Amino acid sequence: MAIEIEFESPSEHFERPDWLGEEVTSRLRYYNFRLNSRPFEDWPRDDRDAARAGRHLESTPDRVP
């Protein structure tokens, strides 16, 4: 599951809940345009398994699903 949280400003206080996983803002594969063109369900199984386990594979040109 991916959750997008938007704030009014970068300095806005946010108390991070325990259930919230790793920050993936800088990972290209999670950008909306990428997920729209290649949804998570279409990623290679190893990539999906790694993401589910919190071991997000680096977004390099040859790895971006």
The pLDDT value given to residue 65: 52
* Residue 8: both structure tokens together: 């009014």
pTM: 0.60
* Residue 11: both structure tokens together: 């300095």
pLDDT in tens, 14-36: 888 888 877 888 888 888 898 89
Place of tokens 């290679």: 44
The pLDDT value given to residue 61: 47
Answer yes or no: are the C-beta atoms of 22 and 56 closer than 8 Å.
Answer: yes
The pLDDT value given to residue 54: 78
pLDDT in tens, 46-65: 888 888 887 776 644 445 55
* Residue 30: both structure tokens together: 């999670």
Among 5, 7, 61, 53, which Cα is nearest to 34's?
61
Answer yes or no: are the C-beta atoms of 33 and 44 closer than 8 Å.
Answer: no
